[in-house]
Structure 1
Amino acid sequence: MELKGKIAAITGASGGIGEQLARLLVKEGATVVLLARREEELMRVRQEIGSACYVYKLDVSDEKMVADVFARISQEVGDVDILVNNAGFGIFKTFEEASLQEVKAMFSVNVFGLVACTKAVLPAMKKRSSGHIVNIASLAGKIATPKSSAYSATKHAVLAFSNSLRMELAISGIYVTAVNPGPIRTDFFNIADKSGTYVKSVERYMLRPEYVAACIVKAIKRNKREINLPRWMSVGPLMFALLPRVFEKLAGTALNKK
């Protein structure tokens, strides 16, 4: 895909992957729509990037707000060519410790928010027979780990949704990319891992958001169906699929360090 002149909407664009992705897409000549709940942070990002950015406050868990905001984007900026469903959060607790409210909140943002945003842009993409939807999932969606039962479940759902949608749109000219990163050095862990235990155990393996964003831009250009980051971590899901009992026995202790 040629990115110059395209309109790219990014949820969760107030920091981390979303912010870095916005910076790269603007350099590629795209017009970027920044979406997040923290409007003041969106304004900071726009000020730093320049005039090729539009800012809209959005809580993806609010279905009506999603519909209204994307309708405004279509009228005020234009139809979205690239949607990056990046908004999401996790809470690392055992299932027993996690409240039902926390579980519902993760599904509301990570799954139903992603679905609502996709629903909002898909009709116009189908009319034009072109578009690209990028869903930020996680390697946690391929390997469920201790203390992240609900979070892993949301990312399993994102992967299943992405795979099914990709097949439904196979001859439509619309592409769907699933991105499965490992741990990334962002504010995500301020909520997910308040104790700091998990961060300490995986700090040496943590990805930089700039690197992840660059990989996503390449995937959009090449219409890739899925990317796993870092690549060596994709060995884990393969081992889990082939030898689940052995994997759980060998890796269980390490994966429990959250």
Structure 2
Amino acid sequence: MGESLQGKIAVITGAASGIGLATTEMLLKNGATVVMVDWNETSLKELATKFGEKAIPQVTNLLDTESCAAMVPEILKKVDHIDILYCNAGTYIGGDLTETNPQAIDKMLNLNINAVMKNVYDVVPHMSERCTGDIIVTCSIAGHFPTHWEPVYAASKWAVNCFVQTMRRQMIPHGVRVAQVSPGPVISALLDDWPEENLRKAKESGSLMEPSEVADAVEYMLTRKRSVTIRDMLVLPTNFDRV
């Protein structure tokens, strides 16, 4: 590894489950302090008790404007700085466009895109002042491919892809690295909304991977020397052949 994560302070959204939880465990193992952001207060309390004092719970509802805006200021009252912001929280809509509804579309776009932009907006002044930091966003293979079986979700991840790559360029003069990890299908609650037939085929063919595989990719990205940015890492189950 080029850089140690020992002593770093990380913020992870969607930290109570899936990729966020796996990345929390990875960072704690590497000696980092992790502010675990999630809306599920009960789960956060249980996990903080399990992990110890280096796991700091932060209850935030990213879909609530006031709660979202308060996230970074509240975190900076609990820790003195933020080295890493991992915008991981998201939701999923699969199937044809006509199979969803406007309310679900609004919720997904607000969480997958708007909340990410707001979180980054709030942390950029802090990291710019310190002239260092890492911002990572969970994108998706769907952000690189016109995934016709999930057009709403794919559109949100294409937007994330654009946002990350434009912000990466903006933050170069400030010493802040901005990057994304783009997983294929991961075993998590997000797949509960997958079309049943697609999910069945993926499970039978071994075309799903564990959240820890994505956490390993994030570990690699964060431990590169500051002179190197892994701008995007695509991580796929070997047997996934739909793209």
With the length of structure 2 as denominator, give the TM-score of the two structures: 0.91
In the alignment, is residue 72 of structure 1 matched against residue 74 of structure 2? Answer: yes
Q: CA deviation at 1:171?
A: 2.2
Q: CA deviation at 1:233?
A: 8.6
Q: CA deviation at 1:67?
A: 2.0
1:225 to 227, 231, 234: 231
Aligned mates of 1:213, 1:63 — CA distance in 2: 28
Map Cα deviations across residues 122-168 of structure 1 (whole Å, 9 max, x no partner): 10100000000000000001112223111100000000000000011
CA contact (8 A) 1:7 1:79 kept: yes
Aligned mates of 1:71, 1:105 — CA distance in 2: 24
Tell me the C-alpha RMSD between the 2 structures.
Answer: 1.8
Amino acid at match of 1:22: T
Amino acid at match of 2:217: C
CA contact (8 A) 1:7 1:33 kept: yes
2:199 is matched with 199
1:101 is matched with 103
Amino acid at match of 2:39: R
1:44 is matched with 46
In the alignment, is residue 25 of structure 1 matched against residue 4 of structure 2? Answer: no
Unaligned runs of 5+ in 1: 237-253
Aligned mates of 2:178, 2:45 — CA distance in 1: 29
2:59 is matched with 57
Aligned mates of 1:116, 1:155 — CA distance in 2: 16
State the identity as a percent.
Answer: 28
2:211 to 199, 209, 213: 209
2:6 is matched with 4
Unaligned runs of 5+ in 2: none
Q: Aligned in 2, Cα 1:154/1:177: closer, same or farther, shift over 3 Å? A: same
Any runs of at least 4 consecutive aligned residues in structure 1 with deviations exceeding 4 A, and if so which? 231-234
Aligned mates of 1:233, 1:64 — CA distance in 2: 43
CA contact (8 A) 2:132 2:174 kept: yes
Q: Secondary structure at the match of 1:51?
A: coil
Aligned mates of 2:237, 2:200 — CA distance in 1: 21
Q: Aligned in 2, Cα 1:38/1:233: closer, same or farther, shift over 3 Å? A: same
Aligned mates of 2:78, 2:111 — CA distance in 1: 25
Q: CA deviation at 1:26?
A: 0.9
Q: CA deviation at 1:231?
A: 8.0
Task: Count matched residues.
Answer: 235
Q: CA deviation at 1:44?
A: 2.2
CA contact (8 A) 2:184 2:237 kept: no
Aligned mates of 1:116, 1:162 — CA distance in 2: 13
Q: Aligned in 2, Cα 1:171/1:232: closer, same or farther, shift over 3 Å? A: farther
Q: Which has the higher helix share?
A: 1
Amino acid at match of 2:115: G
CA contact (8 A) 2:181 2:217 kept: no
With the length of structure 1 as denominator, give the TM-score of the two structures: 0.86
CA contact (8 A) 2:187 2:210 kept: yes
Amino acid at match of 2:32: A
CA contact (8 A) 1:66 1:120 kept: no
2:126 is matched with 124
CA contact (8 A) 1:19 1:45 kept: no
Identify the range of structure 1 (225-234 vs 12-21) with the bigger mean alpha-carbon deviation: 225-234
